[in-house]
Amino acid sequence: MVVDKNPQKEDRVFHALADPTRRDILARALHREHSVSALARCYPMSFAAVQKHVAVLERAGLVTKRRRGREQLVHSNIETIRIARRALDRLETLWRTRLEQFGELLAEDDQGETP
């Protein structure tokens, strides 16, 4: 199967993106690597809360962690962002398809207008 496990993945990706703290973490991680505690210092919440947000991003595949001594460095996975992008692209394609069909109708009828 090539399309079967993607829906769940898209669920996780969009869900991970649906929180401003997580989008901000992701943005920082896209810019450069950060340890979890360094990230935690950026937000008005506990370390554990930020840790959970990172875990959500990680389960979605948006970030991964690598150890450096006692810290975990969070870095982002651009490829997963493109999964979301492709999902949006598919939706926009449907939109264009509809426009084309609408265009065909106009061509056939040669009169329609809906102001």
Given the rule CB under 7 A, which residues bind DNA?
15, 18-19, 21, 35-38, 40, 44-49, 51-53, 56, 65, 69-73
Task: Considering only the stretches 30-38, 45-53, 104-112, report the one whose residues sit in contact with a second copy under the rule CB under 8 A.
Answer: 30-38
Structure tokens at 114: 């809906």
Based on the shown chain and the rule CB under 8 A, indicate whether residue 43 belongs to the binding site for a second copy.
Answer: no
| CA–CA dist 33, 73 (Å, integer) | 6
Based on the shown chain and the rule CB under 8 A, indicate whether residue 32 belongs to the binding site for a second copy.
Answer: yes
Burial of 38 (0-12, 13-18, 19+ CB in 10 A): middle
Structure tokens at 14: 């969009």
Based on the shown chain and the rule CB under 8 A, indicate whether residue 10 belongs to the binding site for a second copy.
Answer: yes
